[in-house]
Structure 1
Amino acid sequence: MKADRILILTASIGSGHIKAAEAVAKEMQRQLPEAVLTTVDFMARDTAWLHWLMKKIYLVMLAFVPNLYDVFYKVSGGAASGSLVQSAFAAIMQPVVKRLIRRYEPTAIICTHPFPEGAVSLWKRRQHSQLPLAVVMTDYSLHQIWLYPQVDQYFMATAAMQAEMTACGFAVETLQATGIPVDSNLRSLPPKAELRQHFSLPLEQPTVLLMGGGLGLGGIQATLQALEKLPQQLTLLVIAGRNARLLNEVRAFARTSHHLVKLWGYTDKAHELMRAADLLITKPGALTISEAFVLGLPMLLHDPIPGPETENAVYATRHGAAVWLHPGEKLAPAVQELFAEGCLQAMSERALACARPEAAQKIACAITAFIQADSGQ
């Protein structure tokens, strides 16, 4: 019997979709060690030049007119208008899916972004195909752009999202509220004190991690300037990602700051730095929030991308794992209050209560069982 060939389609629009794909791929390989797993970035230039151009336009839109994206998100969330948007994107991207399926001949497809999901769904409908399609949703709220009739398995963050989809008419047996998949290594990280020693950080000094994703977004420079007003010395860990300009700005800041500032560019040490920190200041990406939940790391959230990140911030704040800094609110007093009032322990406990560290494993088990049932194994 031939080994299964599993094609995982993701999108490098932010790092969250890629991280989710990596977490699922790792667990799928454990479940099906003989399977051939291929992960494709659907928005990469070498996958499709048009998709890459669309991604670049999206990033420019976020930088200069973020409210325009908010309008798009709300318009595409309606049933009628959302279906039109979905159909347009699926039709544009369907030829690339057709090419990828012809190249890799998958026995199953997993999507962690709605763009390839829509294109595969359209291909299945046009080809009258029964090719198994599983979708891993990477938001903490339900949006029309994720919803397609040709999907065999949906995995979502919360039971509330599952209930919404059931109310929309999706079959209960196709829906599983597993949580958002995170790297299984998060559960085996060394203790905080050990990691602080490893990174040469003061053991007892309050430690704050600043992250802005792989692109170093999220107003990190402004955050540093605000934290400089605090009289108490902090240890500031900054991950600037691939943002060369931000790297240089943080280096200059560190030379004159009264805080201890440690700087990283794009790094594979992010999880260890999260473990070493007492507080995370970041934009509310769903994967970042999910990882912080697993690590019991309190969050101060700011500058969400209008739309899904706003909903992520609402979720984390409502569950007591984060404080959401709204426009006009001062960052430095918020940080001072969190450390002074002893709030962080309670926030850490609430974050852990939201954690779903086993999500990737559950998703992989469910997909494996579906594939084997579909093939009659």
Structure 2
Amino acid sequence: MKRYLIMTASIGSGHIKAAEAIARELRAADAEAIIEVVDFMSRGVSTLHWLLKKIYLLMLAFVPDLYDRCYKFSGGGAIGTLTQDAFALVMYHRMARLIDAFSPDVVICTHPFPEGACSLIKRLSRRRFRLVAVLTDYSLHQIWIYPRVDDYFVAIPAMQQGLIARGFPADAVHVTGIPVDRALLRLPEKRRARELLGLAADAPTVLLMGGGLGLGGIEAMLDELEGIEGRLTLLVIAGRNEDLELAIRARVATSRHALYVWGFTQRATLLMRAADLLVTKPGALTVSEAFALGLPTVLHDPIPGPEEENAVYATQHGASLWVHPGESLAEAVRRLLENPAKQAALSRGARSCARPDAAREIVSMLTDSEDDSNKF
């Protein structure tokens, strides 16, 4: 009976979504396996980790380029390695207690913090387990690169090549895509999705998202979209940003468009299916879900660093439009809604990038490999 410990982090929702997708596929593949998904940055796991997360998110609200600074600071060389070692050391003892309590055969990390702590545990102790990293972006960064990782699962071939160039064996680096919930493939068609949501069947429908934290200047976007004369159906997911949700609800009665808002919701993918167009920050999981649905996207305000790289990837592959600072979001949306041929081209580009079976591929490689945890 195999024991799988899946370590993730609630910094945004993407890392958790990837972990949950893998857990679902593991349960389907091995009904007898013992599987635990742990949010490494939750208060229940560590008050220190939780406080670090809260401080980071608070600072991000006041210093928008904070992530960019951290991303570049930790991006390589001696300083990058020192930063990694510091995080791993801070989180070592809590991770070690989790390992001792669960006794996993395999630890799967969808965030680099627990990955680094696990790498250090394998280095400094006699604990033996297979350490797996599932990278949840479309670019490679030093913060994910640790010794004693037995398998890397990455989104695109360029990331595989980067890891091999850094000395990882080719047979330990697998290009699978980013894990998404395969339930995306079972969603109803667009008209039925709108019916289920109580939306107008034929109105141009635009979904606005800012990730699980409700970031991305959604109120400013709504101000711009009010300038579009034709009546739209606007769907907004505010995530866990309660202030944003309340502010948008206050707009419903006065908007020229049919405006709907949700907080954190399990219906996000149904809302994506109902939309003609998604306007969003380029978080990797959101982009990957849009790829799987063939949903055209308009990307804006990426957090400097990996989100910019995600936007580059999506636009280079003809799956998205990227509205840069100084450009009109409303104009981009209007032109796209008036151009069905362009929408269809973006949809084809998205589908060409889609890897909806990523989680299943990862699980297949893990469960089909030799059952010999001692080699790790």
Q: Flag whether TM exceeds 0.5 (same fold).
A: yes
Give CA deviations for 1:342-374 in whole Å, capped at 9, x if unaligned: 311110011000000000000011111236254
TM superposition shift of 1:266 = 1.2
Question: What's the C-alpha RMSD, in Å, of the aligned pairs?
Answer: 1.3
Match of 1:270 in 2: 268
Match of 1:299 in 2: 297
Say whether the 8 Å CA contact 1:61–1:69 is kept in structure 2: no
Give CA deviations for 1:292-317 in whole Å, capped at 9, x if unaligned: 00000111111111111111111111
For 1:185 and 1:269, the matched residues in 2 are separated by 12
Partner SS state of residue 254, structure 1: coil
For 1:109 and 1:87, the matched residues in 2 are separated by 19
1:157 paired to 2:155 = yes
For 2:77 and 2:171, the matched residues in 1 are separated by 23
TM superposition shift of 1:375 = 6.8
Match of 1:32 in 2: 30
Match of 2:197 in 1: 199
Any stretches of 5+ residues in structure 1 without a counterpart? none
For 2:175 and 2:60, the matched residues in 1 are separated by 30
**Cα 1:159/1:255, change in 2 over 3 Å:** same
Match of 2:165 in 1: 167
TM-score of the superposition, structure 1-length normalised?
Answer: 0.97
Match of 1:372 in 2: 371
TM superposition shift of 1:246 = 1.2
Say whether the 8 Å CA contact 2:105–2:373 is kept in structure 1: no
TM superposition shift of 1:131 = 1.1
The code of the aligned residue for 1:200 comes to G
Match of 2:245 in 1: 247
Give CA deviations for 1:89-117 in whole Å, capped at 9, x if unaligned: 00110001111011111111110000000
Match of 2:256 in 1: 258
Partner SS state of residue 372, structure 1: coil
Q: Is 267-276 or 76-85 further displaced after alignment?
A: 76-85
Q: Is 129-138 or 7-16 further displaced after alignment?
A: 129-138
Any stretches of 5+ residues in structure 2 without a counterpart? none
For 2:351 and 2:59, the matched residues in 1 are separated by 35
Residues 171-190 of structure 1 mapped to structure 2, 5 A cutoff = 171-190=169-188
**Cα 1:371/1:182, change in 2 over 3 Å:** farther
Partner SS state of residue 229, structure 2: coil
Say whether the 8 Å CA contact 1:91–1:122 is kept in structure 2: yes
**Cα 1:272/1:371, change in 2 over 3 Å:** farther
For 1:68 and 1:240, the matched residues in 2 are separated by 22
For 2:157 and 2:329, the matched residues in 1 are separated by 33
Match of 1:346 in 2: 345
For 1:370 and 1:58, the matched residues in 2 are separated by 38
Say whether the 8 Å CA contact 1:117–1:135 is kept in structure 2: yes
Give CA deviations for 1:165-216 in whole Å, capped at 9, x if unaligned: 1111110010001000000100111101111111122222110001112221
The code of the aligned residue for 1:221 comes to E
Say whether the 8 Å CA contact 1:132–1:371 is kept in structure 2: no
For 1:186 and 1:244, the matched residues in 2 are separated by 27
Match of 1:141 in 2: 139
The code of the aligned residue for 1:359 comes to A
Partner SS state of residue 255, structure 1: coil
TM superposition shift of 1:129 = 4.0
Q: Is 236-245 or 219-228 further displaced after alignment?
A: 236-245
For 2:163 and 2:35, the matched residues in 1 are separated by 29
For 2:365 and 2:75, the matched residues in 1 are separated by 28
Match of 2:2 in 1: 4
Say whether the 8 Å CA contact 1:205–1:234 is kept in structure 2: yes
Match of 2:17 in 1: 19
For 1:260 and 1:130, the matched residues in 2 are separated by 56
TM superposition shift of 1:37 = 0.4
Q: Is 137-146 or 205-214 further displaced after alignment?
A: 205-214
> Which of 115, 125, 128 is matched with 1:127 structurally?
125
**Cα 1:90/1:53, change in 2 over 3 Å:** same
